[in-house]
Amino acid sequence: METEKISDQNQRHIRAVGEEQERVKELLRRGAVRHYFLGPESIWTREGFGIVVGGILAIVFGGFIFPRLFLFSSNNEVLKIVCWIMAAAGVVIAGKGLHEMHRESKLESKPVPDSVHDEILAHDLSCLKRISREMLEERIPELGNGDLFDAMEMIMVKGPRDYSSNVNLPLSWKLGDDGKLRYSNFSAMTLYFGKETLYI
């Protein structure tokens, strides 16, 4: 009994680790697609610049805005100390951000090759095919038999899409080194041709 409990916990742990690794891989794939279409990041679009902006905001609010708002009508010592701490933290954060920007400026950014984009696209399309089949099995239970699916011809039609709710990338086009035109966002429609019925 105790062994089954430990085995079940191990299975859940392995499953959770696998799901987390898949999420990390998905983030890396999305980042690669973004860099493929928009090019390598500059120091102004990386994390260091965001840290600098956060530090500057802390300095501005702690050193100027909050003292004018709160200490104009009150001479509270605690508020003064809080404002000074906030401004000092902003200086430290901005310094850390500048150091990070300097480090990031030395990193070499290479463009993402066409082959990486095509590999990610093939992965996305295979996932969409699997999802479409699962949706069809769920909505039309009589097709649950695998033989019916195998007998049907399946065609996926895809094309560029101006907006997609699950991406933060505008529709971008790029002509690859191989002469093929690629686009960043797409819609897909899967067609299953049965003997008498077309499933979309």
CA distance 152 to 169: 35
Cβ atoms of 143 and 149 within 8 Å: the answer is yes
117-159: per-residue pLDDT in tens? 999 999 999 999 889 888 888 888 777 666 677 778 888 998 8
What pLDDT score was predicted for residue 90?
93
13-56: per-residue pLDDT in tens? 888 888 888 888 888 888 888 888 888 777 777 888 899 999 99
If phi over 0 gives left and psi between -120 and 50 gives alpha, with beta otherwise, what is residue 109?
beta
Could you tell me which residues come within 8 angstroms of residue 68 by beta carbon, excluding any fewer than 6 positions away?
none
Cβ atoms of 67 and 84 within 8 Å: the answer is no
Question: What's the angle, vertex CA 150, arms to CA 191 and CA 158, rounded to 5?
Answer: 25
Q: In what order do the strands lie in the sheet with 186-193?
A: 153-160, 186-193, 198-199
Structure tokens belonging to residue 64: 């100027």
CA distance 158 to 128: 11
Cβ atoms of 48 and 104 within 8 Å: the answer is yes
